[in-house]
Amino acid sequence: MIQIKNLTKRYGALTVYENFNLELKEGEVTCILGESGCGKTTLLNCIAGLTDYEGEITKTKCSYIFQTPRLVPNLTVGGNLKLICKDEKAIDEVLEKVRLTDKKDAYPVALSGGQAQRVSIARAFLFDSDLILMDEPFSSLDVKLQMDISQQFLQILSESRRTALFVTHSVDEALRLADRIVVINGGKVALDIYMEIANMEALRMMLIGALIA
């Protein structure tokens, strides 16, 4: 279990979080849902240790899937993955899972947006992490690609049995991917709910209500 205790994060006079608390259960996909500017990315960066903060966060090995792929342009797909893992067999296996076996020797400039994001997903799973952080990694893709790549992600995640935390402002994306949805509003938890409610439309309205409250 990953615990966030009394997290306080400020940017100058702006307080994003003050004594914020959250627990992430092992093996679950938790979604942080909130409007732009509510502190979703800041929370990921605190967990990953990319920014300073006050409070306590369980130390854990993290993989990070960003909004953009962030591939090294002068390295092939295989070369980018070798920065994380030198095991050729492991690289070939993960490329097969994301359906990019034929792109191993291609450079990022030759990839479509969806293909490049699949490389970033492969990179995240190659790193020996306990937690995968995702910062709206499908937001720049069209709806069909979002559906396809998110399903590939869930399949690989279930095989690796890792914990995942992703942030989004899309209610539909949260409903599609998460085991648990946490709505953040004003730096506080406005709603914390598991996907056990059968009436999806009722759940959607609850989430929208928490976002605009």
Q: Which residues of the chain have pLDDT under 70?
A: 196-200, 213
CA distance 69 to 71: 6
Q: Are 152 and 99 in contact (CB under 8 A)?
A: yes
Burial class for 200, CB neighbours closer than 10 Å (0-12, 13-18, 19+): exposed
Query: Mutual orientation of helices 113-126 and 143-160 as an angle, nearest 10°?
Result: 10
* The predicted structure's pLDDT at residue 213: 65
How many domains are there within the chain?
Answer: 1
What predicted TM-score, i.e. pTM, was given to this entire model? 0.87
Give the pLDDT of residue 171. Answer: 86
Q: How far is CA 62 from CA 17, 46, 58, 128, 188, in A?
A: 21, 11, 11, 8, 24
Give the Cα separation of 148 and 1 in Å (integer): 29
Question: What is the residue range of 120's domain?
Answer: 2-212
Residue 199 identity (one-letter amino acid):
N
3-state secondary structure 76-127: CHHHHHHCCCCCHHHHHHHHHHCCCHHHCCCCHHHCCHHHHHHHHHHHHHHC
pLDDT for the residue numbered 20: 96
| Other Cβ atoms closer than 10 A to 29 | 23
CB 116 within 8 A of CB 71: yes
How many helices (DSSP H) and strands (DSSP E) are in the chain?
A: 7, 9
Q: What CATH number does residue 111 fall under? A: 3.40.50.300
Instruction: Point out which residues pair with 32 in neighbouring strands.
Output: 167, 182
